[in-house]
Amino acid sequence: MGRFFRSFKYASHGLRYVFLEEQNIRLHLLAAVIAIVMAFVFSIPLVHWMILIMVIGGIFALEIVNTALERLVDLISDEYHPLAKLAKDISAASVFVYSIAAIIIGVLLFYHPIISLLFSN
């Protein structure tokens, strides 16, 4: 049981590192806070909340995996290598693609509430 609880301790260390050291995840955090505030303001339905939480969790998880891969590549190769650069670029591209999908999902989730607010009497 101790090993189980230590795994949470190790995970929290990794999470703390990523939030303190990685600028991009802090930008994702800002976007997540804005989206959550908007979700409260517009009282979105439960299914939209579920989608929003999945998208936010997905982007954080992907950003964390990207950071881990970048650190692993740095550990393996401390000098420039084209394949190391390519591995890092591809990992970053996965976050970029998911971020675009998250933006599209955000637009779809908030389009009607925003339009209703703007054009209501």
Tokens of residue 117, six digits: 């607010």
Concatenate the DSSP letters of all residues of 52-71 into one string. HHHHHHHHHHHHHHHHHHHH
Do the beta carbons of residue 62 and residue 95 sit within 8 Å? yes
Q: Measured between alpha carbons, how far is 90 from 96 in angstroms, rounded to an integer?
A: 10
Residue 26 burial (CB count, 10 A) = 13
Residue 63 annotated among the catalytic residues of the structure: yes
Q: Which residue out of 21, 22, 63, 79 is catalytically annotated?
A: 63
Catalytic residues: 63
